């Protein structure tokens, strides 16, 4: 597989949220505004790429039997780094994302890439895979959070984009909106990929 | 806040799935049949309660006294992973019947963000030990209620005549959203 294919694979064919549907908790919870969605997406890219690099470098040294605990510790270390950096430099975002930053450690997406890709491939490929999967995650977060913020608040990045007479659909930024809009987005993706095949 | 209202709040009003979004992966993954959903729910109650006791003690006795709070994430995930492993071995030896029923769900629970989430929330909300326990039992009971109810709904949805593209997880998410609206009704509850 060439490098560009690895990268594109994460965004389209194996998009972590819209196709594989892993790592849903944070996706549903933090996408109430576009800024939060992008912040979470970038945090996940950082942890995913970092852990992919280290796991790929150590793949000859980690015995097969203890690979899962080893992955978890590496991922937890990167999550802690991101957690502390966000606490220091982007405090408002840190507070908005709350418990979901430490919870990156149990995001199945990252463990799945460690197991399925980084443990079996070289460093360069693993970096590209991390960036591609991360980008796919970010794209899905942007889609979901922009729809939710637009419908629920009439804003994008907190700036009004609709006339003042627009009555916000509160439900979109409340919990039910997360489930329903993500469900419809996945339905749309299914529809498009079925049409492409046919 | 008194303990009864904390319990009801954590179980129903702030339901772990419908309003906090923790544990959505097993909620969507293991809810195809009511009995497997109930098995998963019971395993989660068991592990969340045990894990909350241990992580709470470790946080207060070790991390806080030594000033190592930044190791919280790493410590907690290791404790949960080890705990799940021990529970599995213990059940296998001493309660084979229970192990048969819960066995396959236990490994999945390590990466269930509900467990780590509740452990961290107990610390960040500065609950005392009793409140933390009530919150853990309440929250995990909320998970049980949600996943069993959802499995029942899904059973019906799967038999419905749907557009091909919406089948599977898409319609499940929409159904979960509608259930979430119902749970939103509890948020007006005066406790």
Whether A99 sits inside 8 A of B74 (CB atoms) is no
* Backbone phi and psi for residue A106, each to the nearest 5 degrees, phi listed first: -100, 15
Closest chain A C-alpha to B103 CA, distance in angstroms: 19
Q: Quick one: how far is CA A11 from the chain centroid?
A: 11
Contacts of A28 in chain B (CB under 8 A): 21, 24
pLDDT value of residue A6: 82
Q: Which of A29, A72, A180 sits opposite B21 (nearest CB)?
A: A29
Q: Which long-range contacts (CB under 8 A, 24 or more apart) does A138-141 make?
A: A138/A38, A138/A41, A138/A42, A138/A44, A138/A45, A139/A11, A139/A15, A140/A15, A140/A16, A140/A17, A140/A18, A140/A27, A140/A185, A141/A17, A141/A27, A141/A31, A141/A37, A141/A38, A141/A40, A141/A41
pLDDT value of residue A127: 92
Share of chain A above pLDDT 90, in %: 33
Are B6 and B133 in contact by the 8 Å Cβ rule? The answer is no
Mutate to test the interface with A, among B177, B178, B183 (most CBs of A within 10 A): B177
Nearest to B124 by CA among A97, A86, A98: A98
Q: How confident is the model at residue A1 (pLDDT cuts 50, 70, 90)?
A: low
Residue A9, pLDDT above cutoff 90? no
pLDDT, average across residues A35-49: 92
pLDDT value of residue A51: 94
**Number of structural domains in chain A:** 1
Report the residue of chain B nearest A78, measured CA to CA. B74
Taking only the tens place, the pLDDT of each residue in A158-198 is 788 777 777 888 888 888 888 999 999 999 988 888 888 77
Closest chain B C-alpha to A149 CA, distance in angstroms: 17
Report the distance separating Cα A178 and Cα B80, nearest Å: 28
Residue range(s) defining the domain that contains residue A20: 3-197
Mutate to test the interface with B, among A43, A186, A188 (most CBs of B within 10 A): A186
pLDDT value of residue A42: 93
pLDDT value of residue A45: 93
A5, B130, B167, B178 from B146: Cα distances, Å: 40, 24, 21, 12
If interface means Cβ-Cβ distance under 8 Å, which residues of chain B face chain A? 18-25, 28, 70-74, 77-78, 81, 110-113, 116-117, 120-121, 124, 163-166, 168-178, 180-181, 184
Sign, CA dihedral A11-A16-A21-A23, equals negative
Whether B165 sits inside 8 A of A187 (CB atoms) is yes
Taking only the tens place, the pLDDT of each residue in A122-161 is 889 999 999 999 999 999 999 999 998 888 888 888 788 7
Q: Quick one: how far is CA A172 from the chain centroid?
A: 20
Report the distance separating Cα A186 and Cα A192, nearest Å: 10
Whether A175 sits inside 8 A of B120 (CB atoms) is no
Those of residues 24-63 in A touching chain B at CB distance below 8 A are 24-26, 28-29
Residue A43, pLDDT above cutoff 70? yes
Compute the count of residue pairs across chains A and B with CB atoms less than 8 Å apart: 121
Tell me whether A124 touches chain B (CB under 8 Å): no
Report the residue of chain B nearest A110, measured CA to CA. B111
Whether B174 sits inside 8 A of A183 (CB atoms) is yes
pLDDT value of residue A172: 84
Model pTM?
0.86
Q: What is the pLDDT along chain B (191 residues), one digit of tens a residue?
A: 688 888 888 888 888 888 888 888 788 877 788 888 888 888 888 889 999 999 999 998 888 888 888 888 888 888 888 888 888 888 788 878 777 766 667 777 776 788 888 998 899 888 889 999 999 999 999 999 999 999 999 888 888 888 888 888 888 889 999 998 888 888 776 65
Are B16 and B139 in contact by the 8 Å Cβ rule? The answer is yes
Q: Which of B19, B77, B177 sits opposite A72 (nearest CB)?
A: B77
């Amino acid at each position: 597989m060439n490098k560009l294919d690895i990268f594109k694979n994460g965004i389209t064919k194996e998009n972590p949220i819209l196709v594989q549907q892993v790592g849903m908790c944070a996706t549903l919870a933090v996408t109430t505004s576009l800024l939060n969605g992008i912040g979470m997406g970038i945090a996940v890219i950082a942890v995913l790429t970092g852990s992919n690099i280290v796991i790929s470098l150590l793949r000859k040294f980690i015995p097969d039997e203890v690979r899962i605990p080893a992955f978890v510790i590496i991922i937890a270390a990167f999550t802690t780094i991101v957690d502390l950096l966000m606490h220091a430099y982007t405090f408002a975002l840190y507070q908005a994302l709350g418990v979901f930053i430490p919870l990156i450690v149990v995001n199945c997406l990252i463990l799945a890439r460690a197991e399925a890709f980084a443990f079996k491939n070289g460093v360069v490929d693993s970096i590209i895979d991390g960036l591609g999967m991360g980008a796919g995650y970010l794209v899905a977060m942007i889609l979901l959070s922009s729809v939710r913020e637009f419908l629920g608040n009439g804003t994008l990045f907190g700036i009004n984009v609709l006339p003042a007479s627009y009555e916000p659909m509160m439900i979109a930024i409340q919990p039910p909106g997360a489930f329903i809009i993500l469900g419809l987005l996945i339905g749309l993706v299914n529809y498009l990929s079925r049409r492409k095949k046919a | 806040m008194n303990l009864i209202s904390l319990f009801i709040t954590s179980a129903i009003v702030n339901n772990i799935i419908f309003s906090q979004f923790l544990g959505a992966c097993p909620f969507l993954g293991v809810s195809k049949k009511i009995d497997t959903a109930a098995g998963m729910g019971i395993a989660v109650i068991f592990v969340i309660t045990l894990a909350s006791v241990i992580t709470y003690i470790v946080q207060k006795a070790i991390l806080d006294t030594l000033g190592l709070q930044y190791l919280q994430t790493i410590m907690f995930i290791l404790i949960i992973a080890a705990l799940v492993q021990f529970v599995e071995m213990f059940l296998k030896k001493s309660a084979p019947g229970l192990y048969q029923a819960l066995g396959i769900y236990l490994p999945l629970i390590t990466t269930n963000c509900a467990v780590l989430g509740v452990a961290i929330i107990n610390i960040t909300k500065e609950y005392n030990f009793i409140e933390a326990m009530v919150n853990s039992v309440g929250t995990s009971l909320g998970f049980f209620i949600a996943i069993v109810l959802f499995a029942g709904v899904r059973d019906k949805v799967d038999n419905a005549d749907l557009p091909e593209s919406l089948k599977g997880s898409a319609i499940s998410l929409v159904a979960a959203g509608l259930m979430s609206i119902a749970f939103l009704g509890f948020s007006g509850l005066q406790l």
